[in-house]
Amino acid sequence: MSDTLVPRLPLGDVAADAVDLITKSGKEFFAAIKTGFLAVYDPLELVLTTPPAWVVILLVAALAWWVKGWRLGIGSALGLVLVAAMGQWDNAMITLALVLLASAVAIVLALPLGIWAARSDRVSSVVRPVLDLMQTMPAFVYLIPTVVVFLTGVVPGLVATIIFALAPGVRFTELGIRQVDPEVVEAGHAFGATEGRILRQIQLPLALPTIMAGVNQVIMLSLSMVVIAGLTGAPGLGRDVVASLTRVNVSLGVEAGLSVVILAMILDRVTAALADRAPVAKALARI
């Protein structure tokens, strides 16, 4: 007899049965997804890990210098030199490859969904609670179904990261488009512009600073989740973080954790600087 007044509702069992059913019925589909992710990830990892460290450092420093200035360029170079000096270069580049791929997929999915939600209140009312659930769900929970479906390795970490990082991209895209002055949109209609042209030439350019803020958040969440995905056997800095925890290895934990912080700072500053370079952001800065 139950000790509570409310009978137990076995939602967890229902979810487990659903995952089992999906896994068994979609084996070919999930195998295709796994093959596709690996087909993109493997060359990307090769591009980042094959060149000498100094080549990648110079390229990143040049990019940072171009988007923001010499201070960010020199700071990025010094940070990456420190990563290499700690012996974490290959792990850092593997983690960067995971972050870039997961972020790219999340952004590709988030942008059209955010645009759709911005143009339809009904879609927005359905999407918002789903995004709330995605953002409040503990990060570790995402790893469970992905490991069941894709086993261990790179792919479950990528899939969990994409799901975890998707929400801010959708929210900021919808917010940016909805914040566009309706009178500007009406002026476009008055000149006979189609809905597609208004979206491309009015709404998206004006919403770009907000959208770029969402892209920044997607990248930051991807980096945090990629580290957690080390629990699924995903390579990179996350694996060393997990190893340092299981072995109580302070030195390894400090080196891997500091490398994650350096990558996060560089990615954050570069993406924020790219947002500031948008024409609309430059025009607002002059006001």
Task: Tell me whether residue 80 is in a domain.
Answer: no
pLDDT at residue 284, rounded to an integer: 46
Task: Tell me whether residue 57 is in a domain.
Answer: no
Task: Tell me whether residue 55 is in a domain.
Answer: no
Would the pLDDT of 1 be above 70? no
**Range(s) of the domain holding residue 194:** 11-50+86-286
Task: Tell me whether residue 114 is in a domain.
Answer: yes
Q: pLDDT of 243-254, one tens digit each?
A: 888 887 888 888
Report the distance separating Cα 198 and Cα 191, nearest Å.
Answer: 10
The residues, ordered by sequence, that sit 6+ positions from 191 with a Cβ below 8 Å of its Cβ are none
Q: pLDDT of 186-242, one tens digit each?
A: 888 788 778 888 888 888 888 888 888 888 889 888 888 888 888 777 788 888 888
The residues, ordered by sequence, that sit 6+ positions from 84 with a Cβ below 8 Å of its Cβ are 53, 57
Task: Tell me whether residue 30 is in a domain.
Answer: yes
Q: pLDDT of 58-96, one tens digit each?
A: 999 999 999 888 888 999 999 999 999 988 899 999 999
Lookup: tokens for 208: 């770009």
Report the distance separating Cα 276 and Cα 271, nearest Å.
Answer: 9
The residues, ordered by sequence, that sit 6+ positions from 16 with a Cβ below 8 Å of its Cβ are none
Task: Tell me whether residue 46 is in a domain.
Answer: yes
Q: Model-level pTM greater than 0.75?
A: yes
Task: Tell me whether residue 77 is in a domain.
Answer: no
Task: Tell me whether residue 76 is in a domain.
Answer: no
Report the distance separating Cα 214 and Cα 60, nearest Å.
Answer: 22
Quote the number of domains for the chain.
Answer: 1
CB atoms within 10 A of CB 134: 16
Phi/psi at 7 (nearest 5 deg)? -65, 150
Residue-wise burial string across 18-29, b where 16 or more C-beta atoms lie within 10 A, e elsewhere: eeeeeeeeeeee
Distances (CA, A) of 119 to 115, 125, 132: 6, 12, 20
CATH number, residue 248: 1.10.3720.10
Lookup: tokens for 43: 């060359």
